[in-house]
Amino acid sequence: MTENIDPRLLNPDLEVRVIPSGGGHIALFGDDLILPVTDWFDKDGEDCDPEDACSCVCGCDELGWVAIDLHPAIGIERLH
């Protein structure tokens, strides 16, 4: 399903920030791409609340889905 990935998500140097927004969270990719955070995972890969998360998944079918390691040294991983 890589044909649905927005090319901006493939840039390894893209700054990514996860912030609260309207009762949920969003991921900001650079200055112009915003995706909703849909799932949160703890260090064991189990579902959890945002405050306990080590990673999250964000995206939409139109632009693609990515996993974000919330440790800034790791970065993002393309899911499909």
Using the predicted structure, report yes or no on whether residue 60 has a pLDDT greater than 70. yes
- Which residues, 6 or more positions from 11, have their beta carbon under 8 angstroms from its beta carbon? 30
The pLDDT of residue 12 is 80
Tokens describing residue 10: 């493939």
The pLDDT of residue 70 is 86
- Which residues, 6 or more positions from 70, have their beta carbon under 8 angstroms from its beta carbon? 18, 53, 54, 55, 56
Q: Please, which pLDDT band fits residue 72 given cuts at 50, 70 and 90?
A: low
Q: What is the pLDDT of residues 12-55, one digit of tens each?
A: 888 888 999 998 999 999 888 999 999 999 989 999 999 889 99
- The structure's pTM equals 0.77
The pLDDT of residue 77 is 52
Q: Number of C-alpha atoms within 13 angstroms, CB side, residue 47? A: 3
